[in-house]
Amino acid sequence: MTDLDLKLHLIMPEISFLILLVFIGAYLIGSLSSAVMLCRLTGLPDPRTQGSGNPGATNVLRMGSKKAGCGCLANRYTEGRDSGLNCPLAGTGYVLCQLNGVGGFSGALISGFFQFRGGKGVATALGAFLALSPWLALAAVATWLAVFMLSRISSLSAISAAMMTPIYSLWLIADPASRGIILLMALLLLVRHHGNIRRLLHGEEKKSG
- pLDDT score, position 85: 46
Averaged pLDDT score across all residues of the chain: 78
Sequence length of the chain is 209
Residue 90 has pLDDT above 50, yes or no: no
Q: What is the rounded average pLDDT of the residues 118-147? A: 87
Residue 119 lies in a domain: yes
Residue 207 lies in a domain: no
For residue 155, the one-letter residue type is S
Q: For residue 24, give its domain range.
A: 3-201
- Predicted confidence band of residue 118 (pLDDT cuts 50, 70, 90): confident
Residue 206 lies in a domain: no
Assign 147 to helix, strand or coil: helix
In contact, 173 and 132? CB cutoff 8 Å: yes
Residue 4 has pLDDT above 60, yes or no: no
Long-range contacts made by residues 15-21, C-beta under 8 angstroms, separation at least 24? 18/92, 18/96, 19/95, 19/96, 19/99
In contact, 40 and 90? CB cutoff 8 Å: no
pLDDT in tens, 133-152: 889 999 999 999 999 999 99
* Dihedral of alpha carbons 68, 73, 74, 75, sign: positive
Task: Tell me how far apart the alpha carbons of residues 127 and 191 are, in angstroms, rounded to a whole number.
Answer: 19
- pLDDT score, position 91: 43
Q: What is the rounded average pLDDT of the residues 106-116? A: 83
pLDDT in tens, 46-89: 888 887 777 777 777 777 667 776 777 666 656 655 555 444 44
Number of domains, the chain: 1
Residue 208 lies in a domain: no
Task: Tell me how far apart the alpha carbons of residues 165 and 160 are, in angstroms, rounded to a whole number.
Answer: 9
- Alpha carbon 14 to its chain centroid, in Å, reads 28
Residue 128 has pLDDT above 90, yes or no: no
Residue 171 has pLDDT above 90, yes or no: yes
Task: Tell me how far apart the alpha carbons of residues 16 and 159 are, in angstroms, rounded to a whole number.
Answer: 34
Q: What is the rounded average pLDDT of the residues 32-54? A: 80
Residue 209 lies in a domain: no
